[in-house]
Structure 1
Amino acid sequence: MTFDDLLPRGMSVEDLLVVMTSLSVLVSILAVWFALLHRDTAAKRALLIARQRQDMRVGVMTPRRREAHVGSMTFMRQVVERLKVLRSAQANKVSEKLTKAGWRSKDALVRFFFFKFALPFVSGGIAVFMLYGLDAYHLQPITKAATALGITVLGAYLPDIMVYNQASKRREAIRKSLPDALDLMVICAEAGLSLDATLMRVSEEMEKTSPELSDEFGLTGLELGFLPDRRTAMQNMAKRSDLSVLRGVVGTLVQAERYGTPLAQSLRVLSAESREERAMKAEEKAARLPALLTVPMIVFILPPLFVVLIGPAILRTIDALSNM
């Protein structure tokens, strides 16, 4: 089997080189474009928080009523509403997952259900068209069917995988920046600021270094000012982040609100504990490095080393035997 047999029918090696070169140039242009593109994330986040604050104010000051029918609905919203999945029990679970990933708007839920419904058909249709219509790869019938089925299943689970990965990255970012935020909260509490003002001040200070934690603290500060039960607002922060360390912080804040315990001292203890936990995580990763580097060292370092050390001796032995 030659390399030309692996290419799709009608495509030569020169065509493949042209396509790969074009893709490389396109990726390079996009990389330079996004590197030079200035994104004002602070202004965007401030606008989002202001919009959430206005929505919360409207929700508190006005009675709840059913939303009016909007004539200019997007295509995705029309499809999702015809499927009637927004009012199901699964929608609440999906909304919680999207909230943990940092996507709290109603459009995010609509997009998730739309792509959850459309991606299996799109990916399956492309796989069937490539494998059966164009016969791009000469595969056995069972292999073709298994490949098409695998691509369809991957398209069905792709939105869940993306949400899970985004939630994991966001949770890790919050965990890393939490000790610094707790130190700032200690300073604000010792300066005499209230809990609402402390959270808002820390949110402003952490806006550049940790946008995820700044978003959480800012939203919690808004909820403390609008929700009738302050404990609910702090528990919502623990649910959105899904971190054990942040749940401990929320428990401390709830006890300080209920019993009037000194807030600065409790936050100082939590800050020390979170720093110790972060150091333990780093030590754990460092302790795993020797075991992880063993296999690459055996596969990529030892064979060239053996060739360099033993190769000349083998060649000299072969020459000596041939001269005999």
Structure 2
Amino acid sequence: MAPTPPPPSSMLFGMTASDVATVLAAMATVAAIFAIYLASTVRDPMAKRVKALNERREQLKAGITASTTKRRAKLVHQRESTDRMRSLLQGMKVLQDDQLKTAQEKLAQAGIRSKDLAIAIIFGRLALPIVFGGGAAFLLYVVGIKPDWSDFKRFMVFAGALLISYKAPDIYLHNLITKRATAIRRGMPDALDLLVICAEAGLTVDAAFGRVARELGRAYPELGDEFQLTAIELSFLTERRMAFENLAKRVKLDALRGVVTTMIQTEKYGTPLASALRVLSAEFRHERMMKAEEKAARLPAIMTVPLILFILPTLFVVILGPAACSISEKL
């Protein structure tokens, strides 16, 4: 005899209670395995950098080096492209010096040293809305890909395409700046401790910055690059104050601005550098501990949503499912 199918009252979306419990248990198991994998796997921030250096070393050993002519041709081609963009923007009278300076500062804060790319950022704000907005208008109003949409919904989609395409370069730069500032913030206490040691050892400020850049370059590449550039500027700029101010402009970080202010006051008034840096280092470590405690205090509120969405329904199905099936069969 064929097996008797379960009564319709015990079915949920074409599945029985045991099938639903099995699916939810499988999803919970996969989520738990993925969480354990993320917790046990710690990514090395220097792994990619070390791999690139090893590949470059192998290329140099094999004699495969990029020729100077090709690099020069690439730079010339990039300069010609930016010159064409500049001439087009100037012809349309949309290129302003303040706007160009702001874009260059954002590129420096994102770790991009080329100032010519500021022209590409401004040109992207002009070209991307035309491309994506025009494409959205063509698809919505000419091709009519969604004939069931109302006029208001089509207009909102068109306006959203224009706004997102206009803000896309700024959003991309903002993400780069935020990631770079976060990476630099992590290494600030260690950098200040090394600066204190170098100052107590009798090194000059530019030599101390260079030493810290070499020591922390592998653990914190972004901070090492900024300190190395500051050490170079300290060695050839006429005013040392300009080098510290350039460091504050290149990094969008309030903590680093406090360090720069301390260094400028030390250079101006001759106050002890080691004691001031030691106080700043203690403050930064305390701030980092406070942020860790704040994240730990936010964890119960964050876990409420996964608990309600994934854990409680599974418990309800497992505990109440058999009882509901037996009650429905008797009734």
- Superposed pair shares fold, TM > 0.5: yes
Which amino acid in 1 is paired with 2:175?
N
Structure with the bigger RCO (C-alpha within 8 Å, sep 6+) is 2
Partner of 2:119: 110
Going from structure 1 to structure 2, the CA distance change for 1:221 and 1:85 (only over 3 Å counts) comes to farther
Identity of aligned residues (%): 49
Distance 1:312 1:263 in 2: 72
Q: Say whether 1:39 aligns with 2:48.
A: no
Instruction: Provide Cα deviations, 1:299-322, integer angstroms capped at 9, x if missing partner.
Output: 22111211111111111222233x
Q: Please, which runs of 5 or more residues in structure 2 have no aligned partner?
A: 1-47, 57-76
Q: How many residues align?
A: 260
Distance 1:223 1:85 in 2: 34
Partner of 1:57: none
How far has the Cα of 1:121 moved from its partner?
0.5
Determine which of 161, 164, 167 is the counterpart of 1:157: 167
Contact 2:132 2:165 in 1 (8 A): yes
Partner of 2:80: 73
How far has the Cα of 1:256 moved from its partner?
2.1
Which amino acid in 1 is paired with 2:106?
K
How far has the Cα of 1:38 moved from its partner?
4.8
Q: Say whether 1:137 aligns with 2:150.
A: no
Determine which of 231, 240, 247 is the counterpart of 1:221: 231
Q: Normalising to structure 1: TM-score of the pair?
A: 0.73
Partner of 2:66: none
Going from structure 1 to structure 2, the CA distance change for 1:86 and 1:135 (only over 3 Å counts) comes to closer
Which amino acid in 1 is paired with 2:127?
A
Going from structure 1 to structure 2, the CA distance change for 1:298 and 1:111 (only over 3 Å counts) comes to same
Q: Normalising to structure 2: TM-score of the pair?
A: 0.71
Distance 1:42 1:250 in 2: 37
Q: Say whether 1:300 aligns with 2:307.
A: no
Instruction: Provide Cα deviations, 1:266-292, integer angstroms capped at 9, x if missing partner.
Output: 222211211111111111111111111
Superposition map of 1:20-59 within 5 A: 38-40=51-53
SS of residue in 2 equivalent to 1:39: helix
Q: Say whether 1:273 aligns with 2:283.
A: yes
Which amino acid in 2 is paired with 1:299?
L
How far has the Cα of 1:142 moved from its partner?
2.9
Distance 1:164 1:209 in 2: 23
Distance 1:125 1:36 in 2: 41
Determine which of 179, 183, 206 is the counterpart of 1:173: 183
SS of residue in 2 equivalent to 1:228: coil
Going from structure 1 to structure 2, the CA distance change for 1:248 and 1:36 (only over 3 Å counts) comes to closer
Going from structure 1 to structure 2, the CA distance change for 1:90 and 1:126 (only over 3 Å counts) comes to same
Partner of 1:282: 292
Q: Say whether 1:262 aligns with 2:272.
A: yes
Determine which of 249, 260, 267 is the counterpart of 1:250: 260
Q: Say whether 1:125 aligns with 2:134.
A: yes
Partner of 1:19: none
Contact 2:191 2:216 in 1 (8 A): yes
Which amino acid in 1 is paired with 2:303?
L
Determine which of 86, 92, 99 is the counterpart of 1:90: 99
Instruction: Provide Cα deviations, 1:232-282, integer angstroms capped at 9, x if missing partner.
Output: 221221222232211221122122222322222222221121111111111
Which amino acid in 1 is paired with 2:80?
M
Q: Please, which runs of 5 or more residues in structure 1 have no aligned partner?
A: 1-34, 44-69
Distance 2:175 2:167 in 1: 12
Going from structure 1 to structure 2, the CA distance change for 1:230 and 1:284 (only over 3 Å counts) comes to same
How far has the Cα of 1:165 moved from its partner?
1.5
Which amino acid in 1 is paired with 2:145?
A
Instruction: Provide Cα deviations, 1:125-158, integer angstroms capped at 9, x if missing partner.
Output: 2212333344333333332222122101110111
Partner of 1:206: 216
Going from structure 1 to structure 2, the CA distance change for 1:122 and 1:241 (only over 3 Å counts) comes to same
